[in-house]
Amino acid sequence: MHSETSSNDDRAAAVHAAREVIELLEVLWHQGRDATSTAPVSSSQLRVLYILDRDQPINLRTLGEVLGSAPSSVSRMCDRLEALGFIQRSPSSASRRELELRLSGRGESYLRDLRIRREGALLEVISSMTPAERTALVDGLGGFRFAVEGAPSKDGRAGTAAESA
């Protein structure tokens, strides 16, 4: 019984710490909003760009499933991203009835620049941490990512969580 209570306490502490980190990141992005802003895309559109970066080419149906969104909503979002020049639609090599979505060169450049700006903001904070704290951060975030995405961690554990995040 004591072990179960301790486990619940550990989970509650981890949830609290994760929420605090998310809130701190929001503050960090807000403080450096000129450097870390996602403009001209919304957070939903940014998620599409991340998915395409990871899983391209992808068709609209599959993208909708990953997003958990209706096909019409996904299509409109892709229309806007295409108008910005961030994605390209092309005929599928597997089926003439489907279109494949890919990041354009401009979309890839946008994501690369956003990541560089965000990493710079994070580097300022992480540089003040001790080496042991940085190692613990890497290990903890690796475990968190594994739990969310089912991505293999450094120790090779297989994932079980949904990849819809």
In a shared domain, residues 2 and 80: no
**78 and 10 both lie in a single domain:** no
* Bridge-based pairing state of the strands 58-59 and 99-103: antiparallel
Domains contained in the chain, number: 2
Judged against a pLDDT cut of 80, whether residue 138 lies above it is answered with yes
Same domain, 38 and 25: no
- Write 107-111 long-range contacts (CB < 8 A, 24+): 107/49, 107/52, 107/81, 108/53, 110/41, 110/49, 110/86, 111/49, 111/50, 111/53
pTM: 0.68
- The 10s digit of each residue's pLDDT in 9-41 is 788 888 888 888 878 877 776 665 555 555 678
What is the residue type of 2?
H
Query: What backbone torsions phi and psi does residue 98 show, to the nearest 5 degrees?
Result: -110, 155
- pLDDT interval class at 158 (50, 70, 90): very low
Using CA atoms, how far apart are residues 96 and 44, in angstroms rounded to an integer? 28
Residue 138 domain boundaries: 32-149
Query: What does the mean pLDDT of the chain come to?
Result: 80
Residues 25 and 36 in one domain: no
Q: Is residue 161 part of a domain?
A: no
Please give the sequence-ordered ranges of beta strands (E in DSSP) within the chain, or none if there are none: 58-59, 87-91, 99-103
